[in-house]
Amino acid sequence: MLKRMTTLEATFVVFMAACGIALKPIVGPMAKLVGSALFMPSGAIAGAIYMMWPMLALLVVHRFGTAMLVGLIQGIVVLVTGFYGSHGFLSLWIYFTPCLLMDIAFLFIRNRQKKWLHFLPAALGNGTGTAMVGILIMHMPRIPLLISLVPSFIFGGLGGLFAVGLHGLLVRSFPQFGKRESI
């Protein structure tokens, strides 16, 4: 994958990873505020923003492994810097695995013109991230974990739809981001 990636695409992938990391300290506390008021996990709510960046990179670069690369970069930066949301070595897996499932789910979208189908990859990614944090970090009991997956799936999917909207704006402003290659 890296041999075929242009400099513009690689720069965009790194920029999307940086956006995801940079907004964590802003989005996290706001999601905790809303989540505590609604009795929902904050990561499930924040997933609308967290999953938007790898999905947007996947829509622009349009190659398998793009979302994984965003997640890997984020995990490495968080691990090395001890930045907001660091869970030690588990950070690599917590950032990488949801993006892996996003890439796999994106492969199954046959008609990419139907924007609502882009709900599933981001929803699956956010649900995976919530499940991983719930099991590995928080040691949540089964029933509360299953209940938290419902809003996680919904908010993650909304992040995928936000990414589709941003991709449309990006292509209108910068047509070079609109070229399509097979995945």
Q: What is the pLDDT of residue 85?
A: 64
d(CA 53, CA 16): 5
CA distances from 137 to 75, 109, 132, 141 (A): 15, 32, 8, 12
What does the pLDDT look like over 32-69, one tens digit per residue? Answer: 898 888 777 788 889 899 999 999 999 999 899 999 99
Enumerate the β-bridge partners of residue 87.
89
Segment 85-90 mean pLDDT:
78
DSSP-derived 3-state class of residue 86 = coil
- Domains identified in the chain and CATH numbers: 9-177 (1.10.1760.20)
